[in-house]
Amino acid sequence: MEKIVPEFLIEKLESQYEKEDVEKIVNGLKEAKKTTFRVNKIKSNVNEIENVLKENNISFSKPDFYEDAFILDENSENKIKSLDIYESGKIYLQNLSAMMPVLVLEPKEKENILDMCAAPGGKTAQIASLSQNKAFITACEKNKIRFDRLKYNLEKQGAKNYNLMKEDSRSLSDYFKFNKILLDTPCSGSGTEGVFSENFSEELITRITKVQEALLKKAINLLSTGGEIIYSTCSILKDENEKILEKFKDKVKIVPIPKFEDKNINYLPSSDGTLTICPNSYYEGFFIAKLILL
């Protein structure tokens, strides 16, 4: 069945991007995504994973920007899921774009880090992996089913030094303060295959922007002096990205993020210092910004 990008989304994109970029976005949304994963450094290393893949005749390539990431050739997802490296949590299946916010966050030993919208746990586990379980992580998820999935994934990945809170992070007391905050906020999914879902609508975008605004307001209140917020979405709509940041320009400023280098990545125009990634077969559409208090 042909994938049809909703007309209202095309109209929104045409109001924000040049015609050439809109064509790239629409074509990229329709492309099947490659299976990608990253190594969990708590339990394994790149050499071990490369050897296992070669032993099982699974061909792969690697993106230029992240040594721990792997791109599998077609029809390898079921095979990789049958291996012990998957079952034991030595790897984590994750889109390349979704790996980037934590790389920008750069979690370090003894930092007090909040993951505001943590389920299903991929980015929380990546924080633990990159910090070798030496960062102090607080992860929030209000939905019980998603909370249970978050807990399961963190346990499977061997994460430690974390505190799980089954509550809406908007309800956290401003008494709490964090060195770094990851706000990978709920979004419309306009950079993903979610645009082909019957749930994708203009009403969803309108509703979700209110949530994003409230979450960022809370993140600013929870940030320690000298700390930073990584704001990210899997949306390519400025309503959910630059326009949300614009509402807080009197409280935070954008710290420019260097572009990730990879031959398969395409960037879309975005405000100075932020990154907007165009969807294609390797990457989901994504937005990332680094913010500090004024």
Predicted confidence at residue 227, as pLDDT, reads 96
Of the CA atoms within 13 Å of residue 279, those in its CB half-sphere come to 26
55-109 pLDDT, tens digit each? 999 999 999 999 999 999 877 889 999 999 999 999 999 999 999 999 999 999 9
Identify the structural domains of the chain with CATH numbers, from first to last: 36-93 (3.30.70.1170), 96-293 (3.40.50.150)
Q: Does pTM top 0.95 for this prediction?
A: yes
Q: What is the DSSP letter of 278?
A: P
Amino acid at 102: V
Task: List b or e across 254-291, with b for residues whose CB sees 16 or more CB atoms inside 10 angstroms.
Answer: beebeebebeebbebebeeebbbbbbbebbbbbbbbbb
User: d(Cα 164, Cα 119) in Å, to the nearest integer?
Assistant: 10
Mean pLDDT of the chain: 96
Q: Please name the helix (run of DSSP H) or strand (run of DSSP E) that holds residue 257, with its range, or none.
A: none
Answer yes or no: 117 catalytic. Answer: no
Q: What is the DSSP letter of 172?
A: S
User: d(Cα 8, Cα 48) in Å, to the nearest integer?
Assistant: 47
Q: Please name the helix (run of DSSP H) or strand (run of DSSP E) that holds residue 153, with its range, or none.
A: helix 144-156
Query: CA-based angle 136:95:245, to the nearest 5?
Result: 65
Q: How confident is the model at residue 261 (pLDDT cuts 50, 70, 90)?
A: very high
**217 CB neighbour count, 10 Å cutoff:** 14
- Inter-residue contact 151 to 164 (CB < 8 Å): yes
Predicted confidence at residue 231, as pLDDT, reads 98
Catalytic residue among 117, 187, 234, 278: 234
Predicted confidence at residue 95, as pLDDT, reads 97
100-157 pLDDT, tens digit each? 999 999 999 999 999 999 999 999 999 999 999 999 999 999 999 999 999 999 999 9
210-258 pLDDT, tens digit each? 999 999 999 999 999 999 999 999 999 999 999 999 999 999 999 999 9
6-62 pLDDT, tens digit each? 999 999 999 999 999 999 999 999 999 999 999 999 999 999 999 999 999 999 999
